[in-house]
Chains A and B, each alone.
Chain A
């Protein structure tokens, strides 16, 4: 019920913004919703699966580059480019997961980080497709004869995909597979000892999350028709992780809340000048990262299980 209410509000939002001449906020909201999808996909492995992957940007960035490269090469149909982005991200997750999941704990964190950084450096050195400078696309993907260039249409496409992803996650965590994943997070040795091939389940979970991460990447490439290699950088992985931890590890809405709070906060600090804060520290906006960090620290201290966990406890 609450979920439906949230989506009704999100559906009304751009209409209100249109009336108030605030289309900029619709674009910002699309970006937040795309990051919500990416963070949700990370939450599946990290929160539900208990696998602390520090390389999720690899799948996010790979999805973005697939769409970007295909667009530059003349393939702009979303029906072709997006499934391709999902497939490539899933394949990357299959390879990276198959190797990384043989390790545990800190080793797993480091090896996923290493793989993602490897992919980052590959794309930085790929001069044909922008290298350091990134890749500009001729425009957003097309659907049949139409394009997704209209920001309002774009917002609703992203919102629809987010709704589908959240519903799928809701189903998945209650399915047989979801129970096994929860059991593995809880007690891996025992899950194996009652007959579950643990490695295969973890790999499947990793691949699903990678595929959805790739889908989010396909969307972020379209958001500004530009693909930056920074999407693959470890800072991106860290940002997604912060969103998940901030929003609520292992909760359906964790990724959404985390993305909204983090990106909303960044926007608030860099684009608004808060009078009393400026009086206190005149150039606080030049140190936006520090300001965001302090607020995040306060939130995490107040809600150690994330914002979604905070509301569930209350």
Chain B
């Protein structure tokens, strides 16, 4: 579904991602792990189109999207969530989600008819709110939600674009154990209908959810494989997992 071919990104002299070749296949949950600063978020940015890719190719559903602008990638079925919550803070929960639904349902170069009259947008937004557990917070201004709720909305916004491939950048960042469990349950429910590339530091979550795991260290892909193989890989243990599992 997604093929990265020798994808690289440099900031001045600093290499953020280096020659990454990686496949995400249809219907899998593919986890991307690695120490801080390994280039995981940069890679998500490159796949989603927020960051320019200097060399290499990104192929999605057989089409080369390396030079496609971010909004066009969303239309093609590729959506991302952010590690640092990025929502419309002054919009209500329902308005946030309705906006994301609006983005993919018809042109928004419409200047006269009030959007409030478009019942289907809001009905669908409410359904997504229920899915992410925010159905009782529809009217709440997003900026006033609790941290865990904002994280749920963060994923909900990406989900509302109806992606085929969802790029989740540390969805559990800063969450307490209970909130994390809710997020894990959400991702587990979603896996039947959407392919996911999941960046996550919570190894418990990663090993519970992932079909395959890729390990990124210093911008380079160290290994890709089934969870058991990754857990057993001596190189991975040395570079990353050892400290995480010991902790």
Contact = CB atoms under 8 A, between A and B. Distances in A.
A209 B168 CA distance: 38
Nearest to A208: B111
A194 B82 CA distance: 12
A133 interface: no
Nearest to A197: B71
B160 A194 contact: yes
A144 to B, nearest CB: 29
Contacts of B70: 192-193
Contacts of B111: 171-172, 175-178, 208
B115 A194 contact: no
Contacts of B15: none
A201 B99 CA distance: 14
A186 B110 contact: no
A196 B105 CA distance: 11
Given A180-B108, A204-B109, A195 B71 contact: yes
B104 to A, nearest CB: 6
A150 interface: no
Contact of B90 (A186, A189, A204): A186
Nearest to A181: B108
A3 B188 CA distance: 52
B110 A175 contact: yes
A192 B112 CA distance: 23
Contact of B103 (A186, A195, A208): A195
A186 B91 contact: yes
A179 B87 contact: no
A179 B102 CA distance: 10
Interface in A83-131: none
Q: Which of A172, A180, A194, A198 has the most CB of B within 10 A?
A: A194
Nearest to B70: A192
A163 interface: no
A68 B170 CA distance: 60
Interface string B51-85: 00000000000000000011110110001101000
Interface string B24-42: 0000000000000000000
A182 B114 CA distance: 14
B112 A175 contact: yes
Given A171-B114, A174-B115, A193-B158, 14 more contacts: A175-B111, A179-B108, A183-B99, A186-B89, A186-B90, A187-B87, A187-B89, A190-B157, A193-B50, A193-B79, A193-B80, A194-B161, A195-B75, A197-B72
**Sorted from nearest, which 5 A-B pairs have the closest CB atoms?**
A195-B74, A195-B103, A176-B108, A174-B114, A194-B100
23 contacts: A172-B112, A174-B114, A175-B114, A176-B115, A179-B95, A179-B102, A180-B99, A180-B108, A183-B88, A183-B99, A186-B88, A187-B87, A190-B86, A190-B88, A190-B157, A193-B70, A194-B74, A194-B161, A195-B79, A196-B103, A196-B108, A197-B72, A204-B109
